[in-house]
Structure 1
Amino acid sequence: MAGYPHNPQQFLGATGYREQEASHRALARLSQPSLAMDSAYEMGHIRKLQAQHMRMQEKTFTNWINNVFQHDRVSAAEQLADGTHLLRLLELISGEVLPPPSRGRLRVHFLENCSRALAFLRAKVPIPLIGPENIVDGDQTLILGLIWVIILRFQISHISLDRVSLLSAKEALLLWCRWKTACYANVNITDFSHSWSDGLGFSALIHAHRPDLLDYGSLHPERPLHNLNVAFRVAEQELGIAQLLDPEDVATLQPDERSIMTYVSLYYHHFSHLHQGQTGTTGEGCPLLFLPFPTALRLLSSSWD
């Protein structure tokens, strides 16, 4: 969209910077002998959290790929190895026609297909570190990173709000969520992690557009699994929004940010394609929804935690 600086590398750079800062803090703690035992516990917790996020990403990204394919069942790390599914995924998500893949079953054919896919992507967005051999060999960490780049570039980077400039796609999506849920009790969306753990954020997004589909007043923050089950069931069965996550993945202290962003972006694309009359949104009881978006944006930004 015009006015929006499409630069997924900007977001990736910011994420990398935060991760680097967290690593520096952990190393600083390890350098203090008096904190050695606490630091060992902390590093163990970090490793456990990283493994949990990796599992959540694999599930989410696999479900996202299969939602794009509609029928085929493809594993994010395993069945992309020959490059044919990867090339097909890029065709479907980009709307462009790519050269047909090699159908040979030798490693050289797999490398050729993966090289074509990476060349297509590198013409659109920087992709450091990963090579075709990493995909063929099933390097889970690098493959998940590659899929995240694809999701960012083709599903999230185009998100913007009324041509508001100077917002990254992540910021635009977060502000859209805050705008739509601002007047809902017990909802305070400040990130794409713990703000969604109790399920009320998803429920509020649905109710803001289709209040006929669920009774928001019957939901309580003390029942996160129930809330998430209700929201995910309604989203999939009534709205056709694929369930990329399981409630148990989200009802944690710190669910994976990339997985939540991927799933929430499906809500954005679904509701943003509907006309006002189709959503049932009236703004009743929520003055913020009647304000011009620039005014609402200033109010939301000023109240940011």
Structure 2
Amino acid sequence: MTGNKEWEESQLRTYTNWVNYNLGEDQQIKDLLNDLSESDILISLMEKLSGKKAYPHKKCMTKSRIVKLDNVGKAVKFMKEEKLNTSVSAENIVDGNRTYILGMVWTMILKYKINANQQKGVDTKEELVENNALLDWVNSFGLNISNFSSDWKDGVALVKLTEAVSGGQIKFEQFSGLDSIQMVIDCQKLAYQQFKIPILMDVKDLICERPDPKSIMTYVSVYKERYEQLLFEKEQREREEAERRQREEQKRIAREEQEIKQREEAERLAKEEQERLAKEEQERLAKEEQERLAKEEAERLAKEEAERLAKEEQERKQREEQERLKQQQPTGQQLTFFAIKAADAWILQNIQAAYAQDPTIQFQWWYPLVQNLSANDFRELQDWFKKIDKDKSGILELDELLKARWPKDMKMNNDTIKRLMLIFDADNSGSIGFFEFIALYNWVKLCVATFKHFDIDQSGSLDITELQAALPQLGFNLNKQSCDALIRANKNLIGKKKLNQVQFICATSYLAQCRTIYQLTFDTHMDQLDPVEFDKFINLVLGLI
């Protein structure tokens, strides 16, 4: 290999491998002359070599010359800021100019790997290139090399350098009997497998009459880099091992000393105080046993008394509730909120005042719920509203509703409260006013009354058949398949064969939310709802789940 063309071909292969060695696995190139202008490969290479962040960039595969010139231009600008001694332009790189690209990569190798300050010079006629610092490093292993070309042509120098860098783990003698080509191939393979030294040069570029000096210097610079890394790793391992052994020895000595002291102390105490300690232990155990028995007896009596009182209280409440239900239990027709009785006159005046402030409230499907309230209930809810309204803003936000103490028979989970907020927030303000709160409260109260009405056996749950019978009282006519889908649509109901009251409120609030969506979608007022079409809509929605 004596001509410029052969050396350039060697450099192309070697530099391509060198670039891939310094790039990440996701940015490997195949063609040095064409691939450096793709995406952000060149600027990523400069960042890796310099250890600095360049201009903002991202991967962008494109065939546009303008885009490529822009990306490569940023890399060229970064090279100038790094004082990289190269005259290459973005056009040279995008056009795949061999001379400029090879010169640019060689300049990178000199600056960042071989150290340009030690360079003697580069002859453009491709005569021998030498570097004293790199030669001194090679010869520090006793190789007696005088150049980076002809002294390497038989592969012996590379194998001996590999032996030195590996610390003798790869020996020159193990390749005896092989020709130069096979010796280099086997040596390169072992160096990569055992020490991650990349194979930068093809064997045909090394085993020739006059190898390219730049290619060999590049290859040797990687050997030097890996050698320093291996030395550092070895020193670190030795340091960590020494520290580990020192810690273990200190722990062992401390443990032995502690064991000796503990053994001596135990023997002394056992000899001097065995009888006294035994007597005290017996007295202590007897006292503890007596106290334990007395405590257990007191707890048993207190528990029995509490259970008796709780049972009596429960039986009293059950009798009162049964009596109340007998007197107030509504029929199926009375439960439906579309048949709510007229409000007291005083309440009506307050509602009319609310209309004047927000006329849209009367067109909400849940508007009848606002009227289902006595004057006494109105004042109680007003007081409760003020207690919940912690910031005294006159409106309730989701956080205040979640923290509110609801009556025991109106217990709800957080998902239900969030859903109710979406339903009764008429103006989508993220909060509800007092009359929206009245509708929310009456809706939950209506759901509770419906649940108790159809919980005939007072088991505290409804099965699917009872659920299908109860929902029409709230304005929802579902078939059996839709009832099953309703259960699946609410995560709190998955796997349940029956619904308790909390789950029933959650499920019916899901249907109420569908009713709100239906009104918003088709712009229907409460009195314009077509029950048949709405039933089709709700069953269709649940059928898609």
Q: May I ask how many residue pairs the two structures share in their alignment?
A: 223
Q: Secondary structure at the match of 1:275?
A: helix
Alignment of 1:121-270 (within 5 A): 121-157=79-115, 170-182=131-143, 188-219=144-175, 223-270=179-226
Deviations 1:18-64 (A, max 9, x none): xxxxxxxxxxxxxxxxxxxxxxxxxxx96xx2111111111111111
Q: Which amino acid aligns with 2:142?
A: T
In 1, Cα distance between equivalents of 2:137 and 2:177: 22
Which residue of the partner structure matches residue 67 of structure 2? Answer: 109
Identity of aligned residues (%): 28
Q: Secondary structure at the match of 2:5?
A: helix
Residues 1:51 and 1:269: Cα distance change in structure 2 (over 3 Å): same
Which residue of the partner structure matches residue 65 of structure 1? Answer: 19
In 2, Cα distance between equivalents of 1:83 and 1:191: 38
Contact between 1:83 and 1:117, CA under 8 Å: does it hold in 2? no
In 1, Cα distance between equivalents of 2:195 and 2:212: 24
Which residue of the partner structure matches residue 33 of structure 1? Answer: none
The gaps in structure 2 that reach 5 residues or longer are 122-129, 236-545
In 2, Cα distance between equivalents of 1:237 and 1:85: 27
Q: Cα distance, 1:222 vs. partner?
A: 8.2
> Which structure shows the higher helix fraction?
2
Residues 1:137 and 1:230: Cα distance change in structure 2 (over 3 Å): same
Cα-Cα RMSD: 2.9
Contact between 1:198 and 1:227, CA under 8 Å: does it hold in 2? no
Of structures 1 and 2, the one scoring higher in RCO (CA 8 A, sep 6+) is: 1
Q: Cα distance, 1:139 vs. partner?
A: 0.8
Q: Secondary structure at the match of 2:37?
A: coil
Contact between 2:86 and 2:104, CA under 8 Å: does it hold in 1? no
Q: Secondary structure at the match of 2:35?
A: coil
Residues 1:260 and 1:221: Cα distance change in structure 2 (over 3 Å): farther
In 2, Cα distance between equivalents of 1:83 and 1:254: 36
Q: Which amino acid aligns with 1:124?
A: E
Question: Greater shift after overlay, 145-154 or 120-129?
Answer: 120-129
In 1, Cα distance between equivalents of 2:47 and 2:78: 10
Alignment of 1:261-300 (within 5 A): 261-275=217-231, 278=234
Q: Cα distance, 1:274 vs. partner?
A: 3.3
In 2, Cα distance between equivalents of 1:146 and 1:267: 22
Matched, 1:78 2:78: no
Q: Secondary structure at the match of 2:32?
A: coil
Residues 1:243 and 1:159: Cα distance change in structure 2 (over 3 Å): farther
Residues 1:222 and 1:130: Cα distance change in structure 2 (over 3 Å): same
Deviations 1:90-146 (A, max 9, x none): 111211111123746532222222222112112233545421111111112211111
Q: Which amino acid aligns with 1:143?
A: I
The gaps in structure 1 that reach 5 residues or longer are 1-44, 161-165, 183-187, 280-305
In 2, Cα distance between equivalents of 1:241 and 1:218: 19
Per the normalisation by structure 2, the TM-score is 0.38
Residues 1:270 and 1:277: Cα distance change in structure 2 (over 3 Å): closer
Deviations 1:160-194 (A, max 9, x none): 8xxxxx98992111111011133xxxxx4111111
Question: Greater shift after overlay, 106-115 or 171-180?
Answer: 106-115
